[in-house]
Structure 1
Amino acid sequence: MAEGRSGEDIVSEYLDQNPHLVEWVESLRGVHETNKQWHARREFFLRNMETFPTIQPGFPSPSLDRLLSLSICWANHIFLGCRYPQPVMDRIKEMADGVVVNDAPVRKTRDEIMGKGKKTAGGDDDSCAKRAKPGNPFKQGPPPQAPAEHQPFFNRLYKAVAWKLVSAGGFGPNLDHFEILRACTESSKESLSCVFVPLKDIPDLPAARTQKEGQVCELRCQTVYLGTGYGRDEAAARTMASKEALKAFQGRKVTVKICRRRFNGRDVEDLVLLDDQPRNPGFPPAISYPFQPEQQGDGPS
């Protein structure tokens, strides 16, 4: 893509020259993305398409999933202040070279906030955590109303997955778990976020685990955590994460809840999709986190 002009001009000219891409590119937009967020992420995506030569417009592929995941990570970092493991941050910053976002939100880091002598009130040790007291001047994690806002979508997704599994003969080891989850999510007008990191780069794991080779994949949809999987490569890790995610759809219903997890060595509150079955309250460490702490104030963040 050409350089030296505004991002929107470059994208418009590129799509004018490649009209067959317009409809496909627009189908990659998230339902809840603002125009500003989408235009920036679209430019990021198109600038980096040539570095993923196996991407074929209109056809799903691991390369497409990876580029989409990286574009979402970058947009979350720019507009929401999300942080990811350092290898991911280095990659998306390199890929964003040349993409200019005017009036991007300015956010303080956790260290800057904590340096002012204020600390977020510590929670209990339960997996599904209690919210911080209203008087706390800082906030971290999803807002209290987030589960209720996301629940209607996941009720629809639950029905779509249930019908898909029935038509496939039920849940089993021979299913293409990721394809089922991807197809049902897209039929519900959303997309999956797949974040990959090497196993050795994840904090909070026993030393024996961190010495192993392999990749870890975390799946989210609408910022809600679905599942984590480990494999020898990204495709295998994504398959295992999808299999874990689909297990939540085996009960009578799914529920979005705010639960406590570990991220980068600290406890955080996260949105998690759960089934109606009793389970071990522990979760794998998060490798992405869309709900970074930010200072509350009267002005915009």
Structure 2
Amino acid sequence: MKLKLRLESCKSPQVMAEGRGADIVSEFLSQNPHLVNWVESLRGLCETNKQWHARREFVLRNMEAFPTIQPGTPSPSLDRLLSLSMVWANHVFLGCRYPQPVMDKVNEMAEGITVIEAPERKTRDEIMGKTKRPAVSALDADYQGKKAKPNDTDVKAHAKSVGRPAASALKSGPPPGAPAEHQPFFNRLYKAVAWKLVSAGGFGPNLEHFEILRSCVESCKASLSCVFVPLKDIPDLPVVRTQKEGQVCELRCHNVYIGTGYGRDDCAARAMASKEALKVFQGHKVTVKVCRRRFRGRDVDDLVLLDEQSRSQVFPPALSYPFQEDQ
């Protein structure tokens, strides 16, 4: 099936949910009535009409680039297109930031779409008029970057070293009341993950674990933080792990640790970390607690997402620690 939406070219990749573009989408759907119900089934529960009309146009415009998509039939190609459409819509309407290659991809796919009165957002540094901080180590730069840009996803901290810091470099841990403060968000995220897994046929090894987790987090108006460190640079690994090649990924959301994964490269490590994180959502509830973890050769208090099962918890060493004094 070919979709031809003839819109006047627009230099800006921002999209439109009203006016000329919406008229053309409506005209296309009127000519293809068998697509109407299927397209509407792709709408998110929390999307406004403006957001949905814009993302719907993005999906319809780019279906031709995914020839294996069959309306009404789930497929990896459809999941990828929908994920890209969510990335673009989150960037336009919510101000989310993603790795530059991803942004270049979705902006190219959105060329010719125009959003009327799209929100304008500035970073904290732009608002406060701050200049860039002096250069710091790769891992510390990641910590500071996450504070300045809370919507960042896929923070890559390929740290050269994870040596022992000075004792004064760490606070005592998360602020008082942090678990209770974060609990309502993770209750919502638990429901979103539960529904997503039900629609995917249940938890299993063949799922796109990272895409499922990311889409659920974004549906709750948040983003994942991913930190990557070479496996060989991590102290305190279990003695049974003799492998020294590959990457380790740590996932956090709202500064709460949710999973760690090992893999031959970033993608494999991130997928494994997402799989481990989704396992936490298999019970009847999730709970945010303060737990002791090992960070750079030192025991620290960290916010951790746990399931309802009571058992002895042994956590992987932390790759990041957001509760630090400014360096």
Instruction: Answer yes or no: same fold by TM over 0.5.
Output: yes
Alpha-carbon separation, structure 2, partners of 1:153 and 1:209: 35
1:88 — aligned with what? 159
For the pair 1:243 / 2:239, whether they are aligned, the reply is no
User: Residues 140, 234 of structure 1: CA spacing in aligned structure 2 closer, same or farther, 3 A cutoff?
Assistant: same
CA offsets per residue over residues 115-169 of structure 1, 9 Å max, x none? Answer: xxxxxxxxxxxxxxxxxxxxxxx94211121001100000000001011111111
2:106 — aligned with what? 57
For the pair 1:217 / 2:249, whether they are aligned, the reply is yes
| Alignment check: 8 A CA contact 1:157 1:185 kept | yes
| Alignment check: 8 A CA contact 1:140 1:293 kept | no
**1:180 CA drift (Å):** 0.9
User: Residues 277, 24 of structure 1: CA spacing in aligned structure 2 closer, same or farther, 3 A cutoff?
Assistant: closer
1:198 — aligned with what? 230
| Alignment check: 8 A CA contact 1:228 1:241 kept | yes
1:140 — aligned with what? 172
CA offsets per residue over residues 230-251 of structure 1, 9 Å max, x none? Answer: 0111111111101100111001
- RMSD of aligned Cα (Å): 3.8
Letter aligned with residue 226 of structure 2: C
| Alignment check: 8 A CA contact 1:226 1:245 kept | yes
**1:111 CA drift (Å):** 3.3
Query: In the TM superposition, what are the counterparts of 1:155-166 in structure 2 within 5 Å?
Result: 155-166=187-198
Question: Secondary structure of the residue that 1:160 maps to in structure 2?
Answer: helix
CA offsets per residue over residues 238-285 of structure 1, 9 Å max, x none? Answer: 111011001110011000001000001000110000000123311000
For the pair 1:231 / 2:263, whether they are aligned, the reply is yes
User: Residues 78, 157 of structure 1: CA spacing in aligned structure 2 closer, same or farther, 3 A cutoff?
Assistant: closer
1:258 — aligned with what? 290
| Alignment check: 8 A CA contact 1:141 1:293 kept | no
Alpha-carbon separation, structure 1, partners of 2:142 and 2:249: 15
Paired residue total: 210
For the pair 1:111 / 2:166, whether they are aligned, the reply is yes
Question: Secondary structure of the residue that 1:205 maps to in structure 2?
Answer: coil
Alpha-carbon separation, structure 2, partners of 1:243 and 1:189: 21
Letter aligned with residue 88 of structure 1: A
Say which one has the larger Rg: 2
| Alignment check: 8 A CA contact 1:85 1:287 kept | no
Any stretches of 5+ residues in structure 1 without a counterpart? 1-15, 31-41, 60-68, 91-108, 115-137, 295-300
Question: Secondary structure of the residue that 1:278 maps to in structure 2?
Answer: coil
CA offsets per residue over residues 36-84 of structure 1, 9 Å max, x none? Answer: xxxxxx7xx7xx83xx48841269xxxxxxxxx999644236699xxx9
Higher mean C-alpha deviation, range 202-211 or range 162-171 = 202-211
**1:212 CA drift (Å):** 1.7
TM-score by structure 1 length?
Answer: 0.59
User: Residues 77, 153 of structure 1: CA spacing in aligned structure 2 closer, same or farther, 3 A cutoff?
Assistant: closer
TM-score by structure 2 length?
Answer: 0.55
Alpha-carbon separation, structure 2, partners of 1:164 and 1:53: 23
- Pick one of 76, 79, 83 that aligns with 2:146: 76
1:270 — aligned with what? 302
User: Residues 210, 236 of structure 1: CA spacing in aligned structure 2 closer, same or farther, 3 A cutoff?
Assistant: same
Question: Secondary structure of the residue that 1:282 maps to in structure 2?
Answer: coil
Question: Secondary structure of the residue that 1:56 maps to in structure 2?
Answer: helix
1:182 — aligned with what? 214
| Alignment check: 8 A CA contact 2:156 2:228 kept | no
Letter aligned with residue 159 of structure 2: V
Higher relative contact order (CA 8 A, sep 6+): 1
- Pick one of 15, 20, 24 that aligns with 2:14: 20
| Alignment check: 8 A CA contact 1:85 1:201 kept | no
Question: Secondary structure of the residue that 2:305 maps to in structure 1?
Answer: strand
Alpha-carbon separation, structure 1, partners of 2:207 and 2:218: 18
**1:203 CA drift (Å):** 1.6
Question: % of aligned pairs identical?
Answer: 62
Any stretches of 5+ residues in structure 2 without a counterpart? 1-9, 16-87, 109-138
